[in-house]
Structure 1
Amino acid sequence: MMNIFDELLHRLGSKTRIRSLFKDIGMDEMERIINRLSEVLEEKNQEKEAEDLKRKEKLQSVEEIKKVMEAKGLSMSDLNLFQEMGKEGKRKRNVSKHNFEYQTASGDTVRWYGSTTGRLPKDFQDYLDRTNKKRIDCIVDDE
Structure 2
Amino acid sequence: MSDFLDILTHGRRFKAAVKELSVDELKELAGKLDKIITDREAKIAAESEALAERNAKIEEIRKQMEAVGLSVDDLGAAALKAAPKKRAPRPAKYKIEVNGETITWTGQGRTPTVFKNELDKGRSMDDFLI
Same fold (TM over 0.5): yes
Q: Deviations over 1:78-103 (max 9, x none)?
A: 1112223xx23x87686761336599
**Unaligned 5+ runs, structure 1:** 104-108
Cα 1:44–1:54 change in 2 (3 A) is same
Residue 40 of structure 2, aligned match among 39, 44, 48: 44
1:58 deviates by 0.5
SS class of match (1:68): helix
1:53 deviates by 0.6
Whether 1:14 aligns to 2:10 is yes
CA RMSD of aligned residues (A): 3.6
**Larger radius of gyration between Structure 1 and Structure 2:** 2
Q: What residue number does 1:77 align with?
A: 73
Cα 1:101–1:56 change in 2 (3 A) is same
Q: Give aligned-pair identity as a percent.
A: 21
Question: TM-score, length-normalised on structure 2?
Answer: 0.70
Inter-partner Cα distance in structure 1 for 2:15 and 2:30: 14
CA contact (8 A) 1:97 1:114 kept: yes
**Unaligned 5+ runs, structure 2:** none
Q: Deviations over 1:56-112 (max 9, x none)?
A: 00100010011001101110111112223xx23x87686761336599xxxxx9936
* Count of residue pairs the alignment pairs up: 120
Matches within 5 A, 1:32-111: 32-84=28-80, 87-88=81-82, 97-99=90-92, 111=103
Cα 1:73–1:31 change in 2 (3 A) is same
